[in-house]
Amino acid sequence: MIIAELTAFHVRIPLRRPIRHASHTRTENDTLVVRCRLSTGEVGWGEGLPRPYVTGESIDDCLAILRQTDFCSQLDARLPALQTAVEVLKNLRLETDGAGRRDCFGNSVRAAVELSVLDAVARFEGVPLSRVTEVAGETAIQQSRDRVQYSTAIMSVKPLKRRMQALAYRLYGFRHCKLKVGAEGIDDTAVVRDARRWMGQGTDLRIDANEAWRCEELEAKLTPLIPFHISSVEQPVPHSDVEGLAKCRERLDVPIMLDESLCSPADGQRAIDDGTCDLFNIRLSKCGGFLNSLRLAAMARRAGLGYQLGCLVGETGILSAAGRHFATSVADIRWVEGSFDRYLVQDALTEEDLTFGRAGNAPALAGPGLGVRVLTSRVRSIARREIPLIG
């Protein structure tokens, strides 16, 4: 069994509504989708979402990396088992021309290619993608569960809409909620106070500042919010200021989570060594795929840190399925984000609807590979560019 074809697609996915936070407003995604076909006929799919303000990649950067990288020579090994595929993918080298860039440059490409191969090989073996957690050797974090409970998020800047969302989420049974703060002209205290009032005292609330503040003002920004019992603050300062969080942590009574500063195993080791956070926000595309994400979870656990599984706005069913497999096979995930599919994505790429149900609950995916059927005709019909990589 070998890889017979590897094809990349640039697809533009409109969102059902604009999503705004302190560092960006998004109405659509330029998404990288990769299709892998094995010589035995099995087809696997992967997805990556480039974010210039996170990993430094645009969709054009991704396409350039794909054209420059010799996938034929690196992925020409026979893949008789999932274990072999994992080892081959761990050694995959991308030609990034990324001089002066962070080592996460190219991560969305790595995630899309890796997921497509793992999906195809897992389908060949007849096992779910979640088996990768065991095969990759991360037994310390392995835990099988039959369902997952997702968190929700409040992003609206309009007070009435925020309150209506909070009440609706409470009635729907959500137990965890993330609040976007730090946007210019918005009263963050009012945002958190409203959420606490309308979602109730029993709801776990955390905040995400998306790099909006500076270290020297962090204590003043957070002090008015702490009485509302927030569970963590995500990426409060820009990546360029992240080293200053080590001293800030000594004065703050709220755990700090890294996101934009946590995009690779090197970032994770640096955060552990420097003492800049209490939690990792692991996102499959941002962190370079399933395997790197497993490494980061294992690193955090060994260091006594927590971690959540995050998502990127507008993930299609491909990444939603991959995230579901991660969430149902990795132990001690503090919060799980994702599977917003029909609430956010206008053009679904999968036959199955992976949107979470009441209270954010969703079942594990038991079928082989990703456990979903990607609609090839749909991908091709909306593709802006199609690039053959192998075959």
Tell me which CATH code domain 139-363 carries.
3.20.20.120
Element (DSSP H or E) covering residue 171: helix 159-172
pLDDT digits (tens, 9 = 90+) for 27-71: 889 999 999 999 999 999 999 999 999 999 999 999 999 999 999
pLDDT value for 101: 86
User: What pLDDT band is residue 76 in, cutting at 50, 70 and 90?
Assistant: confident
Look up residue 251 and give its two tokens: 């004065």
pLDDT value for 179: 96
The β-bridge partners of 37 are 5, 43
pLDDT value for 10: 98
The CA distance from 112 to 81, in Å, is 20
The 3-class SS string of 3-18 reads EEEEEEEEEEEEEEEE
Cβ-contact 143, 100 below 8 angstroms: no
The CA distance from 18 to 224, in Å, is 29
Examine the pLDDT at 370 and tell me if it is beyond 60.
yes
> What size, in residues, is the chain?
391
Most confident of 100-109, 110-119, 345-354: 110-119
pLDDT value for 268: 98
Look up residue 361 and give its two tokens: 């609950």
**11-20, 45-54, 67-76, 283-292: least confident range:** 11-20
In the predicted model, what is the mean pLDDT of residues 370-389? 96
The CA distance from 380 to 282, in Å, is 30
pLDDT value for 52: 92
The CA distance from 46 to 114, in Å, is 7
Tokens 């010799």 -> residue = 70
Tokens 């994400």 -> residue = 293
The β-bridge partners of 34 are 8, 46
In the predicted model, what is the mean pLDDT of residues 272-291? 98
Average pLDDT of the chain is 94
Instruction: Specify the pTM.
Output: 0.95
Examine the pLDDT at 25 and tell me if it is beyond 90.
no
* CB burial of residue 9 (10 Å; 0-12, 13-18, 19+): buried
Side-chain-side CA neighbours of 16 within 13 Å: the count stands at 11
Q: What's at 106, amino acid-wise?
A: G
Cβ-contact 312, 107 below 8 angstroms: no
pLDDT value for 21: 62
DSSP state of 365: P
- Outline which parts of the chain fall under CATH 3.20.20.120: 139-363
Examine the pLDDT at 20 and tell me if it is beyond 80.
no
pLDDT value for 23: 58
User: What pLDDT band is residue 24 in, cutting at 50, 70 and 90?
Assistant: low
pLDDT digits (tens, 9 = 90+) for 184-200: 888 999 999 999 999 99
Examine the pLDDT at 256 and tell me if it is beyond 70.
yes
Cβ-contact 217, 224 below 8 angstroms: no
- Outline which parts of the chain fall under CATH 3.30.390.10: 3-126+376-390
The CA distance from 89 to 117, in Å, is 8
Examine the pLDDT at 22 and tell me if it is beyond 60.
no
Residue 273, C-beta contacts closer than 8 angstroms, at least 6 positions apart: none
pLDDT value for 184: 86
Q: In the chain, count of helices (H) and strands (E)?
A: 14, 13
Residue 288, C-beta contacts closer than 8 angstroms, at least 6 positions apart: 104, 106, 107, 110, 111, 114, 263, 264
Looking at the domain covering 3-126+376-390, what would its CATH class be? alpha beta
Side-chain-side CA neighbours of 245 within 13 Å: the count stands at 30
- Give me the sheet containing 24-38, strands edge to edge: 43-48, 24-38, 3-21, 383-390
Radius of gyration of the chain (CA): 20
Examine the pLDDT at 166 and tell me if it is beyond 90.
yes
The CA distance from 203 to 193, in Å, is 13
pLDDT value for 99: 63
DSSP state of 169: H
Q: Who has greater pLDDT, 145 or 155?
A: 145
